[in-house]
Amino acid sequence: MAKKRKGNPVNGWVILDKPAGLGSTTAVSIVKRLFNAQKAGHAGTLDPAASGVLPIALGEATKTIPYVMDGEKVYAFTVRFGQETTTDDAQGEVIAQTQRLPDEKDLLEEIGSFIGETDQVPPKYSAVHINGRRAYDLARENKDVVLQPRRIRIDELEMLHFSKDGIADFRIRCSKGTYVRSVARDLARKTGSLGHVIALRRLKCAKFLAQNAFSLEYLRSLEHSSNWTDVLLPVETVLDDIPALAVTQAQALKLMNGNFLPVSEFGSVPQTDVFQAKTQNRLIALVRVQDGMIRPVRLIIQ
């Protein structure tokens, strides 16, 4: 007999404006407790020192996390030039310094070389796995951390403000897997200097924007009201771009029981790899067509 989960069957998305100084896993635990939810997860780790959009999935929404992970990200960040640190941000120890500070012209000339697809080496203090362990755990144990370059894409990189004292503000729009700390490190090196991030804020994660995110303080103010209507988004919020197929209640029951539906039962089906199956406008599964049959990929029980 399956062990009953503690908490309530809360399903949906909460878009947290994570404060700086709080780890993503800790933030998820806090939100899970506030909602007394049975299950929770997040889409896209945000550095503890960073603030901004952290989408948190509750209950059945955890099954749709991949559709957020693949979305583009937008960040605002500030770089201090002249110093490189162990973590490529202000949390680490300074390991190298230089008197050579880039000027505005240097930076503008190099920014363009970052646009498009490129190979990027993540920071040693990152969540990348090396032989089953996180790179930051190995780095904290003073073990050698050799990270392989990973393919990333940067669509936009612009300098918002430049100060002659070696500090500049930037905005970046990029693909998943992009480390802003690495961008800052590499940009500084390309100008003949050194640099690290001193402030980082995620403005967008997939379709979720910072201006629509909720602070922990606001969520805590609702803890005893049981009125989560304004902050809990439907599970299918992240599936807006995925076509839907209407099924009858009888067909829905078959899918929920793990059975397949013949494509011939429908006049047409969406021509995509995965699509939604809905009954009475309620999402019941993510499905795909294989060998003439509609097969469930993920059942959504809510």
pLDDT in tens, 52-71: 999 999 999 999 999 898 88
Query: Do 136 and 161 touch, CB atoms closer than 8 A?
Result: no
**Residue ranges per domain, the chain?**
12-70+208-237, 73-198, 242-299
Q: Helices 104-111 and 180-190, interaxial angle, to 10°?
A: 120
**Fold agreement (12-70+208-237, 73-198):** yes
Structure tokens at 172: 């970046």
Q: How far apart are CA 157 and CA 119, in angstroms?
A: 16
Q: How many CB atoms lie within 10 A of CB 98?
A: 14
pTM (2 decimals)? 0.89
* The length of the chain, given as a count of residues: 302
- Is residue 139 within 8 A of residue 48, CB to CB? The reply is no
94-97 and 83-85 beta bridge pairing: antiparallel
Catalytic, 47? Answer yes
Q: Which residues of 263-299 are buried (b: 16+ CB within 10 A; e: fewer)?
A: eeeeeebeeeeebbbbbeeebbbbbebeeeebebeeb
User: What fold is seen in the domain 12-70+208-237?
Assistant: Pseudouridine synthase (3.30.2350)
Superfamily of domain 242-299: PUA domain (2.30.130.10)
Measured distance CA(302)–CA(300) in Å, rounded: 6
**What is the CATH architecture assignment of 73-198?**
2-Layer Sandwich (3.30)
Q: What is the Cα–Cα distance from 67 to 240, expressed in whole angstroms?
A: 10
Helix (H) or strand (E) holding 249: helix 249-256
Residue-wise pLDDT tens for the chain (302 aa)?
456 678 888 999 999 999 999 999 999 999 999 999 999 999 988 988 999 999 999 999 999 999 898 889 999 999 999 999 999 999 999 999 999 999 999 999 999 999 999 999 888 777 777 667 776 776 676 777 777 889 999 999 999 999 989 999 999 999 999 999 999 999 999 999 999 999 999 999 999 999 999 999 999 998 777 677 789 999 999 998 899 999 999 999 999 999 999 999 998 898 889 999 999 989 999 999 999 999 999 999 88
